[in-house]
Structure 1
Amino acid sequence: MIGDRVAAVLGAKVAGVTALGTGAGGSGVYRVSLLSGETVFAKSYQGEAPGFLAAEAAGLRWLREADGAPVPEVLGECEDLLVTGFITPGRPTPAGAEAFGRELATMHARGAQSFGAAWPGYIGALSMDNTESDDWAAFYTERRVLPYLRAAVRRGALDLDQASLVERVCGRIEELAGPPELPARLHGDLWAGNVQWDVRGRAWLIDPAAHGGHRETDLAMMALFETPLLETTLAAYDEVHPLEDGWRERVALHQLHPLLVHAALFGGSYGEQAVAAARQYL
């Protein structure tokens, strides 16, 4: 029983549990009411990926340390259960989107010691190699693009000729990437569903695939699965942490990773979208 497991992890008495559906990696998600009157969020994972919830917990803690975009507090965890603070859902507002832009810029600027992370990663149900590197071009191609390109080919989402186009872009990443950037503190899977708006219209970050990376990668993910009031958020971001010239022309380059992840997971048109993104740089 979820209630019993949450009670054991928190050392607290549970008053009730409400199932909320399915989360990342097929995990079960729940709203749990404690006898103290507090409400918490619980995620239960019964899959075969070792360290799936541990990676999420590490990412949440690391992002929260930045004091930028708000992140739920990790209240307790074990191998198959993660308990965090509960965010009461609301709707985005222009003021909230502006604040989100400033807070995301602050989080990115807090930085990382390298490209990658000190823990093994996951994005959705797929493992993600976080082996650290000082070279973003090599990190992006070897750990973020090519593994998922190969997985997408195995799934049949791309054929070998299409895959060769992506590989050609990988060979040009360094010249296409724009001015060098220090490692930013990334959410890593920043689509609209992982931005949770609360009752005050404030944006919280959930379900991270956190790592040190290029900050334009988070922004490109926001554009791919468009976050509400995106231009308002980007304008506020740019005021705090100005973006380099030409960043909009590099959006598709940074979208190769999430598109190939989705092609590997779901097939469908995502492989074609990845090829279309690659063609822009050939």
Structure 2
Amino acid sequence: MVEWDIRKLQILRTLRERGTVTATAEALRMTPSAVSQQLTNLAKQVGVPLLEAQGRRVRLTDAARLVLRHAEAVFEQLERADAELAAYTRGEVGEVRVGAFSTAVPALVVPAVRALRASHPGVVVRVREAEAAEAYELLAAGEVDLALSLAAQAPAVGDPRFTRVPLLTDPLDVALPKGHDLATTEPLRLADLAAEDWIFGGSGPWSDITRGACETAGFSPRQGHSASGWTAILAMVEAGMGVALVPRMAAVPRGGVVMRELGEERPVRHVVAAVRRGGEDSPAVGRLLDVLRGVAAT
């Protein structure tokens, strides 16, 4: 098979357009002898004459025109590649794989994807739901390009593998059944609920967050029921089976549930994005981080 040389094909193409070796050399900023030498080498590579004398000029042979007919398709594809590569370097195209914990998907990732579709439709986001700690494992393993997680579940800030980007501070509110004695108490403190049955998972980050917040308020929560999904937790609160701490980002309105803020002492969780160190330089990843920051700010 012939080893095609794009540069030599471009010279042949320019000769067809300009008509003479001298004009071709001027257009390509080469010497006429260099043009002739390159075309002679191309003819040797393809094994057929490409030029024939016509007085003091040269003209392309039928074989040369055949070669150029096929080369045009190559040039066209290379132009497309140049255009796509330029778009990629501007962050206008690319694919970003995201690992995100459950409440971050509807609250942050979905709005970010919608915004990107409107502003940069060439950037494709692939989403994988994962537990907060698992998101970092996926990131370290190269299975996702960006992880959305909780700062409490993240590796240390100085971990050389990752660059962390703070996104938002998510307040934790108390979910009470409608009609609860404390549903209208002002101000409401977490310590006021020390005698209540609490609903939270038996293990995992939310169990740790709930226990930690209550212990900071001066009591250990009595776990009345165990659930990890917000739909189940809020349904049990609505039924009067207990109370729960709910991140504002995860709260879904229910007619029988009253959400109460806890004032200045309210506990919070910190939501962060992370990429592998240096990954923030990827234009598409940078685009998504910018949009996530905008969504988080609202």
Select the structure that is richer in strand: 2
TM-score higher than 0.5: no
Bigger radius of gyration: 2
TM-score normalised per structure 2? 0.24
